[in-house]
Structure 1
Amino acid sequence: MSFSISPPASGRTQDAALEDALDRRRARLRSTQLERLLMRSYQQLVVSFVLALALWTGHWFITGKTDAIGWALIVHSAQLLQWAVARAFKLSGRAALVESARWLRRYQLTLFISATAWGLAAVVVLANETNLMVITAWAVTLLGMAGIGAHVVSAVHSAIYLWLVPLLLPLVLMMLANGGVVQTSVAVLVLGFGSMTGFFASAMHRLLRTALQTKLDNDALVRALRQQVVLVERADREKSRFLASASHDLRQPMHALGLFAGALDKHLNGTALQPTVTNMIRAIDALEQSFSAMLDISKLDAGVIQPNLQAFPIRDLFRVLHMHCSGQAEEKGLGLRFKADGKIVTSDPQLLQRVLSNLVHNALRYTREGGVVVVVRQRAGQTSLEVWDTGIGIAEDELPRVFDEFYQVTNPGRDRSRGLGMGLAIVKRLVLLMGHSLEVRSTPGRGTVFRILMKPTEMADMESVVLGADTVPAPIDEDHTVLLIDDEESIRTGMRELLETWGYQVLTAGNITEACTEVRRHAGVIDLVISDLRLANREDGIHAIERVREAYGAPLPALLMTGDTSPEQVKRAHESGHRVLFKPVRTRDLHAVLRGIP
Structure 2
Amino acid sequence: MTFRLSPAATLPHPDGGLEFALDRRRARVRSTQLERLLMRSRQQLIVAFALAAVLWVGDWLLTRRPEAVWWGLLVHGAQAVQWAVARAFHRRGRAALVESATWLNRYQTSLFLSSLAWGMSALMVVQHEPSLLIVTVWVLALLGMAGIGAHVVSAVQPAIYLWVVPLLLPLVLLMLQRGGPVQVSVAVLVIGFGSMAIFFATSMHRLLKTALQTKLDNDALVRALRQQVVLVERADREKSRFLASASHDLRQPMHALGLFAGALDKHLNGTALQPTVKNMMRAIDALEQSFSAMLDISKLDAGVIEANLQSFPIRDLFRVLHMHCSGQAEELGLSLRFKPGGKIVTSDPQLLQRVLSNLIHNAIRYTREGGVVVVVRSRGGQDSIEVWDTGIGIPEDELPRVFDEFYQVTNPGRDRSRGLGMGLAIVKRLVLLMGHSLEVHSRPGHGTVFRILLKPTEMAEMDSVVLGADTVPSPIDEDRTVLLIDDEESIRTGMRELLQTWGYQVLTAGNIQEACTEVRRHAGVIDLVISDLRLANKEDGIGAIERVREAYGAPLPALLMTGDTSPEQVKRAHESGHRVLFKPVRTRDLHTVLRGIP
Q: Structure 1 length normalisation: TM-score?
A: 0.95
What is the CA deviation profile of residues 374-425 of structure 1, one whole-angstrom value per residue up to 9, with x for unaligned ones?
1122233332212122223333333333222222223333333332222122
Structure 1 distance, partners of 2:214, 2:432, is 42
Letter in 1 for 2:464: V
Q: Which amino acid aligns with 2:544?
A: A
Does the aligned pair in 2 maintain the 1:310–1:347 contact within 8 Å? Answer: yes
The 1:486–1:12 alpha-carbon spacing in structure 2 relative to 1, beyond 3 Å, is closer
Cα distance, 1:274–1:11 mapped onto 2, change above 3 Å: closer
In the other structure, the counterpart of 2:518 is 518
Answer yes or no: is the 8 Å Cα contact 1:519–1:552 preserved in 2: yes
What's the counterpart of residue 70 of structure 2?
A: 70
Q: Distance in 1 between matches of 2:414 and 2:70?
A: 90
Give me the whole-angstrom Cα distance separating, in 2, the residues matched to 1:448 and 1:522.
62
What corresponds to 1:192 in structure 2? Answer: 192
Q: Look up the equivalent residue of 1:163 and give its one-letter code.
A: W
Q: How does 1:33-52 map to 2 (within 5 A)?
A: 33-52=33-52
Give the SS at the match of 1:305. coil
Q: Deviations over 1:429-482 (max 9, x none)?
A: 1122222222223333332222222233333442x3355675885431252222
Q: Which moved more, 1:9-18 or 1:568-577?
A: 9-18
In structure 2, the partner of 1:161 is 161
Alignment of 1:96-495 (within 5 A): 96-462=96-462, 464-465=463-464, 467=466, 470=469, 473-495=473-495
3-state SS of 2:176 partner: helix
Q: Aligned equivalents of 2:371 and 2:240: distance in 1?
A: 40
Alignment partners' CA distance in 2, 1:45 and 1:98: 25
Supply the AA of the counterpart residue of 1:285: D
Shift of 1:502: 2.3
* Contact residue 478 and residue 502 of structure 1 kept, 8 A: no
Tell me by how many angstroms 1:235 deviates: 1.6
Q: CA deviation at 1:10?
A: 7.9
Conserved 8 A contact 2:314-2:342: yes
Give me the whole-angstrom Cα distance separating, in 2, the residues matched to 1:520 and 1:61: 109
CA distance in 2, matches of 1:494, 1:260: 5
What corresponds to 1:80 in structure 2? 80
SS state at 1:194 partner: helix
Deviation at 1:562, TM superposition (A): 0.5
Pick closer, same or farther for the CA change 1:350–1:2 going to 2, 3 Å: farther
Residues 61/445 of structure 1: CA separation in 2 closer, same or farther (3 Å cut) = farther
Question: Structure 1 residues 55-64 or 243-252, which shifts more?
Answer: 55-64
Say if 1:373 and 1:388, in contact at 8 Å, map to a contact too: yes
Alpha-carbon distance, 1:200 to partner = 2.0
- Give the stretch that moved more between structures: 288-297 or 451-460: 451-460
What residue identity is the alignment partner of 1:465?
Answer: S
Return the offset for 1:12: 6.7
On the 8 A contact 2:559/2:581 being kept in 1, the answer is yes
Q: Which residue of 1 aligns with 2:570?
A: 570
Cα deviations by residue, 1:343-378 (Å, 9 ceiling, x for unpaired): 222222111111111111112222233222111222
- Structure 2 contact 475–502 (Cα < 8 Å) conserved: no
Q: In structure 2, what is the Cα distance between the partners aligned to 1:510 and 1:461?
A: 54
Following TM superposition, by how much is the alpha carbon of 1:256 offset from its aligned partner in structure 2, in angstroms? Answer: 0.7
Alpha-carbon shift at residue 205 of structure 1 (Å):
1.1
SS of the residue corresponding to residue 94 of structure 1 reads helix
Per-residue displacement from partner, 1:150-171 (whole Å, max 9, x unpaired)?
1111111111111111111111
SS, match of residue 99 in structure 1: helix
- When structure 1 is superposed on structure 2, of 382-391 and 242-251 the one drifting more is 382-391
**What amino acid maps onto 1:119 in structure 2?**
G
* 1:39, distance to aligned residue in structure 2 (A): 0.6
Between 1:387-396 and 1:172-181, the stretch displaced more is 387-396
- Number of residue equivalences: 597
Amino acid at match of 2:404: D
1:11 positional shift: 7.4
For 1:223 and 1:278, how far apart are their aligned partners in 2?
Answer: 59
**2:586 matches 1:586:** yes
Say which SS state the counterpart of residue 160 (structure 1) adopts: helix
Q: What is the distance in 2 between the residues matched to 1:261 and 1:235?
A: 38
Structure 1 unaligned runs (5+)? none
Cα root mean square deviation, aligned: 2.1
Cα deviation digits, residues 122-176 of structure 1 (max 9, x gap):
1111223343332222222212211111111111111111111111111111111
* 1:553 alignment partner in structure 2: 553
Q: Deviations over 1:253-305 (max 9, x none)?
A: 11111111222222233333333322222221111111111111111122211
CA distance in 1, matches of 2:70, 2:125: 9
Q: How far does the alpha carbon of each residue in 1:162-200 deviate from its partner, in whole angstroms, 9 at most, with x for none?
A: 111111111111111112232223222322222222222
Q: Which amino acid aligns with 1:295?
A: L
Cα pair 2:154 2:201 within 8 Å, conserved:
yes
Q: TM-score, normalised by structure 2?
A: 0.95
Q: What do the CA deviations read for 1:294-328 (whole angstroms, capped 9, x no partner)?
A: 11111112221122222222112111111221222
The residue aligned with 2:89 is 89
5+ unaligned residues in a row in structure 2: which ranges? none
Q: Per-residue deviation at 1:66?
A: 3.4
Residues 469 and 302 of structure 1, relative CA distance in 2, 3 Å threshold: closer
Instruction: Confirm or deny: 8 A CA contact 1:304 1:574 kept in the other structure.
Output: yes
Q: Percent identity?
A: 82
CA gap 1:559/1:149 in 2 versus in 1, 3 angstroms: same
Taking the aligned partners of 2:522 and 2:496, their CA distance within structure 1 comes to 16
Change (3 A) 1:204 1:469: closer
Q: For residues 220 and 380 of structure 1, what CA distance do their matches in structure 2 show?
A: 48
| Deviating more after overlay: 527-536 vs 446-455 | 446-455
- Work out whether residues 288 and 584 of structure 2, in 8 Å CA contact, stay in contact via their aligned partners in 1: yes
More deviation, 224-233/24-33? 224-233
Contact 1:360 1:387 in 2 (8 A): yes
AA aligned to 2:451 is: R
Q: How has the CA–CA distance of structure 1 residues 591 and 434 changed in structure 2, closer, same or farther, with 3 Å as cutoff?
A: same
Which stretch has the larger CA shift, 109-118 or 260-269? Answer: 260-269
Secondary structure, aligned partner of 2:128: coil
